[in-house]
Structure 1
């Protein structure tokens, strides 16, 4: 037997539910609410028919309109590429050594290269390209392999000391921890510091001269000015990739350093490689 009854005060049927003597009235839902519900149901059915909606084993229903946000993005990218097709062709054919900084092509390449740099290079070199410990500053004119546009393009294309590109830039400094005695390492370190600093132990640095000439000058030069053909850094300009303190210089002499840069030519299009190279070259340090 149903517990429902008519409430004496309102004349509305109850639901049969009662809490602490308070009974729930079975008031009907407002018609506007019901019609809204029905409209949402109809709209939902229409949406699931027109647009991708129902997951399947290897995908989802495509819908009558076959619309997707990925398809829209792909369409926008295709339209953008078509719009810049002429500039891209010019960029690929251009002689970058003679490309005028005031030309429309240079401005386009610089803008495109800036976007590529922010997406791919800023994680290591910094958003402003000022570098960090172990990651070169691209704003100065201290280049291991050369800072002219052709060398920058080559470095971006093939990278440094990676194992994925046969033409990668490659240099290797011996780890002298197993070659020199501790006092010899201390002498060489002091001589290296003397090349770019006025604060050094003259006697200890003098003891390191012959060791440097016999073991280091072949790459770094007799005056420690470096050799770009070998990727050997200039030791006399007080610009240090890993730091110029005695502790960090000693660590480098003992263990050497082997920084790696990806071969971006394997990941980026030729036009993006050229664009980001132009951007880096235009930052101020390019030669």
Structure 2
């Protein structure tokens, strides 16, 4: 008995597989040759890549490849090249006086670009993008700086920090006059109202009690006129810039519980050039804020 003739689709002329579902027959269409070519080329590419480049992880390392190329060495090479390209102007940044650098437009153009990145990476989280501060963090672009606002002083503050772990750190702490029982509530309220009146320019002639409390307890750090002291890192209490808020309850809380802010020291975290660039950038911010 002879085998049945193969079934051929009358429309396409192709042989069928013999499978049929509800009158629909499956064509025996072969896989296009281009697919096999692509798969073959892809497999060859993977084999060559595995041989030449880092590819397979191991227990303690990975296959290095004949070319010995990896992203780490590539990045290190680019960083080394960037340092070499920056060497000329970073040498100036590290050695020349900050005031001299600040008067050089070419240097400051570099500082404004690179300093903005440094500030964004290291300072913005606390002091804000333009240095105008956040609650509990001072405005360093507009307000008087507690330790002084010349470039060398700014650089030193960045270098050693405030109440930080650096052996040369600056120390600044306000006593907790209420919590530690040095002043009663009525005294704190009186000096709070006195300070708010001073800041607003209102008359304080009838606030003798508040003035006396201030003179005996606050003037030694903040000055007789409450304008602050760079010797103690004591802020100006008369201007409009309050670190913890200038409304009545906030000022009362500061006097009652005390304050001891913290700024990390950046020496050891940033290079010498980066520390000086940050100081120049903060100085530039202070000159270019509305």
TM-score normalized with structure 1 length: 0.88
TM-superposed deviation, 1:13: 5.2
SS in 1 for 2:132: coil
Query: Is 2:132 the counterpart of 1:107?
Result: no
Deviations 1:4-23 (A, max 9, x none): x9544356352x76655655
CA 219–118 in structure 1, closer or farther in 2 if over 3 Å, else same: same
1:219 corresponding residue in structure 2: 221
Query: Is 2:132 the counterpart of 1:118?
Result: no
CA distance in 2: counterparts of 1:34 and 1:12, whole angstroms: 21
On the 8 A contact 1:147/1:285 being kept in 2, the answer is no
Query: Is 2:234 the counterpart of 1:256?
Result: no
TM-superposed deviation, 1:216: 0.8
Aligned ranges 1:229-244 → 2 under 5 Å: 229-244=231-246
2:175 corresponding residue in structure 1: 174
Query: Is 2:173 the counterpart of 1:184?
Result: no
Aligned ranges 1:60-79 → 2 under 5 Å: 60-79=62-81
Match of 1:47 among 26, 49, 54: 49
On the 8 A contact 2:198/2:204 being kept in 1, the answer is no
Residue correspondences, number:
279
SS in 2 for 1:115: helix
Query: Is the deviation greater in 33-42 or in 57-66?
Result: 57-66
Task: Kindly report the root-mean-square deviation, in angstroms, between the aligned alpha carbons of the 2 structures.
Answer: 2.3
On the 8 A contact 1:110/1:279 being kept in 2, the answer is yes
Q: Which runs of 5+ in 1 are unaligned?
A: none
TM-superposed deviation, 1:241: 1.3
2:93 corresponding residue in structure 1: 91
CA distance in 2: counterparts of 1:18 and 1:57, whole angstroms: 53
Query: Is the deviation greater in 97-106 or in 167-176?
Result: 97-106
On the 8 A contact 2:139/2:241 being kept in 1, the answer is no
Q: Which runs of 5+ in 2 are unaligned?
A: none
Query: Is 2:197 the counterpart of 1:194?
Result: yes
CA 72–17 in structure 1, closer or farther in 2 if over 3 Å, else same: farther
Deviations 1:110-163 (A, max 9, x none): 43322211221112111222222222222215110100011001011011112x
Match of 1:157 among 156, 159, 169: 159
CA 26–206 in structure 1, closer or farther in 2 if over 3 Å, else same: farther
CA 101–201 in structure 1, closer or farther in 2 if over 3 Å, else same: closer
CA distance in 1: counterparts of 2:195 and 2:105, whole angstroms: 44
2:278 corresponding residue in structure 1: 276
